[in-house]
Chain A
Amino acid sequence: MAPHDIRRPFKRAAISDQQKRRELSLLRQAQNRRDAQQQARCLASSILSLQSAAPESQPEQSDTEIETVPESEQESEAFSKDLDVRQASKLRGPEVRKWFARQLMLPEWMIDVPDRLAQDWYVFARPAGKRCFVVSSNGTTVSRQRNGSILHHFPSALPAGAKIRDGSGSAQSYCILDCIFHELDQTYYVIDMVCWNGYSLYDCTAEFRFYWLNSKLEESGACNAPSHYHKFRFSAVPVYNCDSSGLYSAYTGVVPYAKDGLLFYNKHALYQTGNTPLALVWKDENCSQYVIDTDGKGEIPSQQQVVLELQDDRKLVTSDDPPVLFGCLDGDIIEKSGLHTGNLLRFAIGDGGLSFADGKLEKADLIYLGKSNRARAFADSYSKVLFQFMVRHSPLKIDDLLASINSANDQEKTPSDIEMVG
């Protein structure tokens, strides 16, 4: 039994560079394997969702900018087969506008109170600001507004959101967030999460998406103060169950941002692109500066204004699917103003207002004002026109919402089956 060697490394690094190279190789291989698996798992499903989210490319043919180049239609058809959000973030021009405009979930305006508000819905105060999609991929982050124009191009702490480290970051990783950019504190308030780190959340319920949003966003460091690699702060918004206390908190609670109404999300609804009645927006003067629509100069026009789309047969319709007919435009106006099918046109609602029969719009007193701003991608939705109309005439008040929750509570208390205990 010889003496035991007790030599320790002296003036030496504890690990050899060869061992380091081996380990770095293993690390890279493990990362690549993860990427390959993740790609197999996720990309397919998110591409599927994106495709199915954009099946109705037909109505969009009305977009003149596209129609003028007939081949591009086919191209974009083929293109959409391999469409991947990361490629989408590289799209240019009208393609972008078209693509992104279709990807956001657009809440309808609340024109009546849904049932089971307290059980099935969330509520939160909507930040005032620019609604946008934030896509992080390949070491950079891009935010695009509803019309597809780029708001910011910046590094962020979102997964794949900045170029850091030695490229070991996953190439397939990307995120898509549904955000509102709040100018005052230069913060992106995340109101929904569509994809996170390569995982598609399109097929997930709002309940799950909000849970995921709250846990992931914080973990990623995206909520940290801005720094060199993280130019803008992200923040989640407080979301409440829409019972009376939740509704009250969302309505009156102090938040770090200026409120622009309340958003209601159905807990069981998947992320559905385009207009959906499973997300609703409601506002009054207490929780929004912008209850009544303003014109281009920021002033409230004396008459309500609406934007409608001109169809083939001179029909004026909303952006809903199916579109709601508001009336027909005189042939001579079309000729005089050089209007085309698909143009978005601005109208005022005259003293005749809107008249309804059996809960359906029967007649609208429309006064033609001119073409709408080119930056607009869509006509107004039916619910928006109606909400604005109600605001000017007989608004839906917060008390109505609270009352509806309370009366539902009363109903809950009505006798149900009694369990026998003998």
Chain B
Amino acid sequence: MEVTQVLFNAQSIDGTVRKNAEESLKQFQEQNLPGFLLSLSGELANEEKPSETRKLAGLILKNALDAKEQHRKFELVQRWLSLDATAKSQIKACLLQTLSSPVFDAHSTTSQVIAKVAGIELPQKQWPELIGSLLSNVHQIPAYAKQATLETLGYLCEEVSPDVIDQDQVNKILTAVVQGMSASEGNIDVRLAATRALYNALGFAQANFSNDMERDYIMRVVCEATLSPEVRIRQAAFECLVSISSTYYEKLTPYIQDIFNITSKAVREDEEPVALQAIEFWSSICDEEIDILEEYGGEFTGDSDVPCFYFIKKALPALVPMLLETLLKQEEDQDQDEGAWNIAMAGGTCLGLVAQTVGDDIVPLVVPFVEENITKPDWRQREAATYAFGSILDGPSPENLIPLVNVALTFMLSALTKDPNSHVKDTTAWALGRIFEFLLGLAVDLPIITQANCQQIVTVLLQSMKDTPNVAEKACGALYFLAQGYEGEGEPSPLTPFFQEIVQSLLTVTHREDVGDSRLRTAAYETLNEVVRCSTVETAPLVLQLVAVIMMELHNTLESQKLSSEEREKQSELQGLLCGCLQVIIQKLGSSETTKYAFMQYADQIMGLFLRVFACRSATVHEEAMLAIGALAYATGADFAKYMPEFYRYLEMGLQNFEEYQVCAVTVGVVGDISRALEEKIVPYCDGIMTQLLKNLSSNQLHRSVKPPIFSCFGDIALAVGEYFEKYLMWAMSALQSAADLSTHIAGDDELVEYTNSLRNGILEAYSGIFQGFKNSPKTQLLIPYAPHILQFLDGIYMEKDMDDMVMKTAIGVLGDLADTLGNHASSMIQQSVSSKDFLNECLSSEDLLVKESAQWAKLAISRAISV
């Protein structure tokens, strides 16, 4: 095959030519993978070939080694590993050779391909000579080869995990990288490549950061690089500092003063991309200290893994003025631009984080700035003052803030109506939202909102909803938090008298002509949702009236026909908002018997609308509609059976949606809702549902996060249908067993442990549901053969010592369910298990209420089983 020509054609502007070329590449790959990869790497290495085809060859090579989807990635890795060794070493030789190519496209693509191969081979202890030969390249004369090699090292560090490379090689990599960064390196591109490589290599430098001399050296070089004349190098060096601030927080003490000087100079004088990174350094320190202090607060012992060095508190007198200065550097139209990110925004965000970190200490440093600027003629000063005030509302104690807020509130309400500048109004509405978010619902002597000012607040906010879209959106946001402030109070909320007016205004906002161009409509519906969630008994009749209104809106979206794909997308988005709103209303009205009864008159119509929303699409189901149906099933109970014949196909469609796994997960949850609602009436649909669920479990294309809920769903179904579950018992148990086996012997990062725990929880909920479902049935003996494995599983997770409270609770509950259902059939088995002794005792003395309760249940059930 003449690869060059095909690669050319694959970039043709002629669609047919391109398609043919892509097709023949695909065939080549499928029929002869080694040949395919060899010719691509040959193309890449050949200095006589044009740079476009070399670059494309490199990209296709890269895509033959890695993919975003986990299952596809796994497949590609396996294919590479099983490739003929000779072919592989030929390819790798080509790659290393290309790294020294003077053609930029060739060597820069190659560095990425090498990193991908390394990502596969190094963990398998293959390609041991790679790092050595890369390092020998660093001393090559042509600067471009040096640059390419440093880039490769950077990508490599991004690709493989630190434990794969031994310390000796790490040392060599770091030495090469840091040398490349140093001021003595004359070539800017090399120095930049080295600095960016260090960013990725920092994770490998644990040992080196523990060594004072080496750490001093690295830090010195990084700090020097922040002073480079080349802006990209300065930016990359600050990125390294940001990364160091979170990875090596506990090592920063000796350098923090210098870093402060460097960052504050950069914030004040440097170009924006650099200044943004400099601010980010302090935001990142705040993140660290907030986490550490939170852990302090959580534990009475006060011994955390990482001590807090209070860098922010110490830097406060200099840091806060620096951040306040940035607030005055707003861009004219930043509020209209969704993607905007500038120094004023970064500085304001950092100020908010500083407030969270230090609490009360920030107040005296910010208040004078607010007082001085809030009435100035220049809008920048008024906006900066308002932003500063808004950003310190989360952190300091309410006692400290409430007197200030009580003074400021009237001024802010008047600014929101009268200030001539839209930017100031936007920020004022946002700051009001922050006041309501953080300072309502507290038991304080002087509440911010009183019967006296409530009317004014509501009036001003509703008025602002008619302002420009960005101001209106923030006003909706403020109202959202105002409503939230009275959630669950039970007592007549001061908002109750305004309920009708508020709802009406929000509905009006959703019909604004300019609503489509911003987040405004979403904000209005979200606020409406919160107002409904937080409403009280008094306004229940009004919420009930809202049902018909929202139904009509949803109905209207279904009338438009022959839509363009863009219009269709907008329609779907609006349907999502309306279904979401109905879901909230259903859940609200369904939670009390009286309102539920009144709501039921609409159930048929609503269900009809949901079904029509589903019918708008051919292949997928609407997630929001599915969520709303779950709420409806819960509210209607057994009557939901009448909707099943029509609804069932969408349920199945939702369960089959692997691509949008959120939709699949939501549908699985709805199956649970329906099981509880229908109980044995779900039987006619069980065959289909169980088949699909079992299929989902065995698929490696489905996102793994959906699997635990599927297991829980087995439990829901079993509990609903009782001994009828016998039909599926063998299949379900075998799926549960293999998942249980997988979920015991695991070792990995936090994320894996968390996933494993959610998987265990799902498995255990399934067992609970099955045992309870079979209880008191003549078929309980069917479960006896599974008991030993289940007890072994319980013992296993107890031994592993890495379960969370949730799993502990479910696990010990399963022990109780097993004893309860099997009774004396299982008594000797139970008595032999570790779970029934040590595990049970541990749970009985647990601090966690739910764990203890489950354990008491288990104790009771076991004592009954044994005594019978």
Contacts and interface: CB of A to CB of B under 8 A. Distances in A.
Question: Are A and B interaction partners?
Answer: yes
Interface in B321-357: 340-341, 345-346, 348-349
A79 interface: no
A36 B592 contact: no
Contact of A199 (B154, B341, B488, B856): B856
Given A33-B716, A37-B719, A166-B488, A1 B154 contact: yes
Interface in B567-613: 576, 580, 583-584, 587-588, 590-592
Contacts of A10: 340-341, 345, 348-349
A59 B192 CA distance: 96
Interface residues of A, number: 43
B765 interface: yes
B502 to A, nearest CB: 17
Interface string A293-324: 00000000000000000000000000000000
Nearest to A139: B592
A106 to B, nearest CB: 24
A37 B769 contact: yes
A18 B474 contact: no
A214 to B, nearest CB: 13
Interface string B470-487: 000010010010000001
Contacts of B236: 3
B488 A40 contact: no
Interface in B129-161: 151, 154-155
Contacts of A44: 775-776
Contacts of A228: 490-491
Contact of A25 (B480, B669, B768, B813): B669
Nearest to A2: B196
Nearest to B679: A36
Contact of A26 (B345, B480, B533, B669): B669
A21 B813 contact: no
Interface string B835-862: 0000000000000010011001100110
A3 B857 contact: no
Contact of A41 (B242, B592, B666, B816): B816
B199 interface: yes
A168 B634 CA distance: 12
B242 A203 contact: no
B308 to A, nearest CB: 22
B237 to A, nearest CB: 12
B440 to A, nearest CB: 15
B817 A41 contact: yes
Interface in B715-739: 715-716, 719
A328 B252 CA distance: 96
Contacts of A28: 587, 631, 634
B154 A21 contact: no
A248 interface: no
B860 to A, nearest CB: 7
B856 A1 contact: no
A36 B388 CA distance: 50
A184 interface: no
B66 interface: no
Interface string A1-39: 101101110110100111001101110110011001100
Nearest to A204: B860
B526 A17 contact: yes
A105 interface: no
Given A11-B430, A166-B591, A41 B820 contact: yes
Interface in B648-694: 662, 666, 669, 672-673, 676
B490 A163 contact: yes
Contact of B277 (A6, A8, A40, A168): A6
A2 to B, nearest CB: 9
A17 B580 contact: yes
A122 B820 CA distance: 30
Contacts of B580: 17-18, 21
A197 interface: yes
B833 interface: no
Contact of A32 (B199, B491, B673, B864): B673
A197 B672 CA distance: 23
A6 B279 CA distance: 10
Given A33-B765, A199-B853, A21 B235 contact: no
Nearest to A4: B239
A413 B852 CA distance: 39
Contacts of A168: 591
Contacts of B346: 6, 8
A18 B490 contact: no
A176 to B, nearest CB: 16
A32 B676 contact: yes
A7 B817 CA distance: 50
Interface centre among B474, B662, B817, B853 (most CB of A within 10 A): B853
Interface string B525-554: 110011001000000000000000000000
B441 interface: no
Contacts of B860: 45, 199, 203-204
Nearest to B809: A34
A22 B772 contact: no
B280 interface: yes
B276 interface: yes
B280 A6 contact: yes
A41 B630 contact: no
A6 B769 CA distance: 46
A370 to B, nearest CB: 47
Nearest to B192: A1
B665 to A, nearest CB: 9
Contacts of A163: 490
A164 B488 CA distance: 6
Contacts of A21: 529, 580, 583-584, 624, 627
Contact of B856 (A26, A167, A212): A212
A21 B242 CA distance: 34
A93 to B, nearest CB: 23
Contacts of A3: 235-236, 239, 273
Contacts of B631: 25, 28
A339 B429 CA distance: 80
Interface in B740-765: 765
A1 B155 contact: yes
Interface centre among A8, A24, A164 (most CB of B within 10 A): A8
Interface in A308-350: none
A67 B430 CA distance: 71
Nearest to B817: A41
A197 B854 CA distance: 12
Contacts of B557: none
A33 B712 contact: yes
Interface of B: 151, 154-155, 196-197, 199-200, 235-236, 239, 242, 273, 276-277, 280, 283, 340-341, 345-346, 348-349, 426-427, 430, 474, 477, 480, 487-488, 490-491, 522, 525-526, 529-530, 533, 576, 580, 583-584, 587-588, 590-592, 624, 627, 630-631, 634, 662, 666, 669, 672-673, 676, 712, 715-716, 719, 765, 768-769, 772-773, 775-776, 813, 816-817, 820, 849, 852-853, 856-857, 860-861, 864
23 contacts: A1-B151, A1-B154, A1-B199, A6-B280, A10-B341, A11-B427, A13-B480, A17-B526, A21-B584, A22-B662, A24-B587, A28-B631, A28-B634, A32-B672, A32-B673, A33-B676, A36-B676, A37-B813, A42-B857, A45-B860, A199-B856, A212-B856, A215-B852
Given A28-B587, A36-B676, A41-B861, 13 more contacts: A1-B199, A10-B340, A13-B480, A18-B624, A25-B583, A32-B634, A33-B765, A40-B773, A41-B813, A166-B533, A167-B590, A167-B592, A204-B860
Q: Which 8 A-B pairs have the closest CB atoms?
A: A167-B591, A17-B526, A40-B772, A1-B196, A6-B280, A7-B341, A11-B430, A165-B488
Interface of A: 1, 3-4, 6-8, 10-11, 13, 16-18, 21-22, 24-26, 28-29, 32-33, 36-37, 40-42, 44-45, 163-168, 197, 199, 203-204, 212, 215, 219, 228-229
